Structure 1
């Protein structure tokens, strides 16, 4: 064995050279890795005894992608990825990529430059650069469509999805798939066969039959793809650049297509959207790190879960645990509610199976883990109990007092409250250290966010376990301190206040919704209210017409559920602004002597977003959030903040903190001390 450099070894087995890359943890394409690849290929090429080359990686994965930590930093002196690929393509000896784990981004682009590709059955590949606001910048957009065709390439580069080995083989990305423990023997056999049968040095860049076949109908192909995906890709710059690169692969020679790819890559790399998406990539990982937790904090076992409440939220929460094989006992007060809740869970799974994402056996396996009960005592052996009942403090305190007498010692007692004081709930028990907030977002089986609320007496092991179980069920968990509304809803309330004021002062609900939709939210606050139901939490017996919502509900307006709300809805739920609601708003404003005026889009945006940023600063100052990036993760995953804007605190940094201070004062809002301090010193919330 010859050490090429610190991360690359070369061994020779007869006529086959084996280049083994070992750069933990994921063999990312750092400068030493690129140098190792270039030097290794050169060494194998220079050895006259070598007739074929196998490239394989040590550790848990093939090259998992670029070294993201190098992005945006001055270039270091090393071989470029282009240099490596040129050397591979100019090799006079067949190079076989042996792939296990994941070959993603630049890792797949390296593999695509090899002459042949063999993969372990569990391997996955993909070009996920679009998720970082980028495009594959090392020929991926030109080589991939030549192997798989432009239709498949469009899907892969605009979604960034990972493809399993079996699917990749069918597409034409891989040439052979073998059992996981046969990867190196399989690669060696392929190399020896290539030598014996004198296989051609097949380069993806020269495979043109699929792009040639697509060229006559290319205009329609790309127009249809853009139209079909317009809603999904709205606001993002990178998907369109990826599409243009695939167009170039179809319509231009390879070398010209590479020039297009490079010309589009650089502006994306330097642009704010990619900076935002790369920031989010690291922010998600940072959120899992809980400051102040003892290094020896042990996770408590969670082998069974109890859930109180079989409504929409409780049922959705239950599905998260059933999905990962954890048995759930769900408790309701009445048989009708229990049966309905379990029926909804089954129906959700059956709908998923109908789409081909689960088998009928999967559905029965998950439902087999679910037990319904009308008796709280049946939760006595659960390791984790989550209440998902009505948002009322007296009800929750009474329930937790009962749980205190039912739950086994050491069980975690969690509240799904979205606003209420977790410490007050914990005080209803004799074990406040076992109580934690676990705020799921509706629909709980879909939404990625989990706010984990750390009470004043929550034990470190309980907090660590809540965070760990969040990860296990596929959530992005973020720690919050105890305050009204925690992180997300606390900030949301200030946006809602301003939205209500704006429609009284002169804007219409459709104006506010349009501005926030154009900013990148999936919908504005008034459309969201209609979707949720205007009558949630409203009581006809106590309503006094003191708010716009009171008057709308008194007039029989419930939102989408009955087709009348801030908008009128037809049978297909197409919406048009409601003249009836507009009259209610105008009458309400007139009664209170409000002189309505024209309000432009800039004011609407600032008044909706800047108070949120201001409250975020207070949350940081009060240490209710660990870091500004955690606030951003909450808003990105729970409230539809557009990922290409990086979250409210990242966005604020680039909008300008000094400008935000000035505009808040202009609108009569007192800036948070931390916001003023950072603005005055030229600092930022996120360091970006």
Structure 2
């Protein structure tokens, strides 16, 4: 017997095989638990319960993903029955054993669905995760109550707090999966019949918390408060798990649901949902169709085996793509490959990588001396220092040596990609691939489209970025692209505040209180003050205090002194009164009046100019969408994701307020760069927000 219950939105395939009802989620591609799918799951459970020939039930999926969780588009809307908790209660209370057959990812509500089943069989590609914290939420369908009854409470809490997914083998080792099988549906049917024959089966809600679990959880909760106490979801998760340890199951469910429902409309959750959808559309390039074929990239050549080139090589090797590192001498090449080997060795020492895995990725990397080594590569990435003459010479050479159809990319962080492309003699094949350091760790990849970049080259770069585990965001050509162009405005604003008598410590404290992990001046000391100094000497800019420090040889951490003083071997700096004296001297020379500001005023002065520059970037067509700018700053510069990014944050502040503040500052400080962008003024006058610019600008 086989049937298919179908609606326009969702479907469940239902069949009975040798006494087992098999209900397969078939709302592809991700089996989101919309109201339609929830109803059909209830119908399937009712059919199985009413059929005397059915002895057990298996819940599985027809797609590559078991279930990606709740339908996020329903958040914030009036609830429609049956709710997911009601569906899971129906499953757990089934008069016949229910076994989940997890063929792929079971995330969020999908993972909670498996927890409500009486047993779980995982396929080799199965994964379990409760990533709700990434949306500013906590599990809301029993996850906080059931998972601590399967795993030790501290482990369950850690899994939910991080939002980390675990693979099948780890799930089996922890007891979250009962079996691993190549054919999880067949194995789940066999297990379901064994449970039916036994006449009893484990019910998660009836399990008792493991002995000693409360003490370990208390320690984990205290640590979470110290590290993540600013997130509303942290406190909510602690209270929900605590309820699992101290209250009957139904009362714990009520606590969880109350916390979950309070979080949904919170500013943090709304911002994180914005980030979630921003990532989904970031790779969409206006005007491009899905039919456009990408170029094949099966091998990569990287010019420059320094820190950046080595990190890029590791990124491709980690993705299983062969890499050739190219240097000007055998000595430099050996040094670069040795650095890569040392980096992997640290991972092995820490236990995050096996020796076999290290050997496998190193086998993907070879080296060559001379640019002739690019000849066989499908993609060539230049990663040498920021000098236009050097880059033009290199691209003239690789334009000759690279095979026809190869993509040629520069990793420049601010130079003119159009000029570099012209030097190659084949500009249609050229674009920018701006990786962020360390390249093998940082998620952001700015994909810079030059004026003559071929559409298929751009499409290939975006697809390749995702293939190697990056978040690709497309930018047009301008000085600094999206991220560094906006950072230049924050640097200028921070210098202006220094000159007005505000301390580096106070300015950095305002930034970290906002949610950044590092303040402006601590970041400059870490990166090296000399980098910005040399850029300003070549291209202009405003940083009189930073320039004075660089001229004194105070480059930051690497010299022991910058905006802060660094004791030998220390990463954290201490205040230096000499910096205040230098700032005061420069201020007198410039005729700047002291102005000590409170923390919220510092944030306005630092971030409003960034927003203004972001609007200019949009108006010039450098970025496709405001949300693309948000992703650049969240993933490349540490902007706290729970505020949604600078452009989303600006909408929450109010564009009229930002226009008024910038106008006042521009006039009083005689700072023409602070004059509000015309588009910003227009949006504020029309009562529109930046999000309105996204409409009509998607594929």
Give the TM-score, by structure 1 length: 0.94
> Does the CA-based 8 Å contact 2:501-2:583 persist in structure 1?
no
Partner in structure 2 of residue 517 of structure 1:
512
Shift of 1:60: 1.7
> Does the CA-based 8 Å contact 1:92-1:201 persist in structure 2?
no
> Which has the larger displacement, 259-268 or 582-591?
582-591
Partner in structure 2 of residue 208 of structure 1:
208
- Unmatched runs of 5 consecutive residues or more in structure 2: 667-673, 695-699
Partner in structure 2 of residue 597 of structure 1:
595
SS of residue paired to 1:428: helix
Partner in structure 1 of residue 424 of structure 2:
429
Distance 1:569 1:208 in 2: 52
The counterpart of 1:685, out of the listed 684, 687, 690, is 690
Shift of 1:66: 0.6
Partner in structure 1 of residue 303 of structure 2:
308
> Which has the larger displacement, 7-16 or 677-686?
7-16
SS of residue paired to 2:302: strand
Shift of 1:124: 0.8
Partner in structure 2 of residue 188 of structure 1:
189
SS of residue paired to 1:483: coil
Shift of 1:613: 0.7
> Which has the larger displacement, 273-282 or 185-194?
185-194
Q: Could you say what the CA RMSD is over the residues aligned between the two structures, in angstroms?
A: 2.2
Distance 2:637 2:471 in 1: 13
> Does the CA-based 8 Å contact 2:225-2:234 persist in structure 1?
no
Partner in structure 2 of residue 344 of structure 1:
339
- Listed one character per residue, the Cα deviations across residues 18-66 of structure 1 (whole Å, up to 9, x for unaligned) are 2232211121111111001111111211223322222222222222211
> Does the CA-based 8 Å contact 1:388-1:417 persist in structure 2?
yes
Shift of 1:294: 4.7
> Which has the larger displacement, 575-584 or 228-237?
228-237
Distance 2:278 2:195 in 1: 46
Structure 2 residue 572 is matched with structure 1 residue 568 = no
SS of residue paired to 2:37: helix
Distance 1:615 1:36 in 2: 50
Structure-2 change in CA distance of 1:117 and 1:681 (3 Å): same
- Listed one character per residue, the Cα deviations across residues 620-679 of structure 1 (whole Å, up to 9, x for unaligned) are 111111111111111111111101011111111111111111111121121111111211
Distance 2:261 2:291 in 1: 45
The counterpart of 1:643, out of the listed 633, 641, 644, is 641
Partner in structure 2 of residue 26 of structure 1:
30
Distance 1:187 1:119 in 2: 9
Distance 2:365 2:22 in 1: 51
Structure 2 residue 556 is matched with structure 1 residue 551 = no
> Which has the larger displacement, 424-433 or 476-485?
424-433
Structure 2 residue 656 is matched with structure 1 residue 658 = yes
Shift of 1:83: 2.2
Distance 1:683 1:310 in 2: 48
Distance 1:537 1:628 in 2: 26
Give the TM-score, by structure 2 length: 0.93
SS of residue paired to 1:173: coil
Shift of 1:374: 2.4
* Corresponding residue pairs, total: 678
Partner in structure 2 of residue 12 of structure 1:
16
> Does the CA-based 8 Å contact 1:4-1:36 persist in structure 2?
no
SS of residue paired to 1:270: coil
- Listed one character per residue, the Cα deviations across residues 381-432 of structure 1 (whole Å, up to 9, x for unaligned) are 2211111112122221122112222222221111111111111111213211
Structure-2 change in CA distance of 1:8 and 1:550 (3 Å): closer
Shift of 1:502: 0.5
Partner in structure 1 of residue 405 of structure 2:
410
Partner in structure 2 of residue 672 of structure 1:
677
- Listed one character per residue, the Cα deviations across residues 291-336 of structure 1 (whole Å, up to 9, x for unaligned) are 1225443211112211111111111111111112222222222333
Distance 1:546 1:37 in 2: 62
1:143-542 → structure 2 map (5 Å cutoff) = 143-178=146-181, 180-181=182-183, 183-198=184-199, 200-210=200-210, 213-215=212-214, 217=215, 221-222=217-218, 224-229=219-224, 232-233=227-228, 235-536=230-531
Shift of 1:241: 1.3
> Which has the larger displacement, 556-565 or 265-274?
556-565
- Listed one character per residue, the Cα deviations across residues 495-526 of structure 1 (whole Å, up to 9, x for unaligned) are 11000010001211111111011111111110
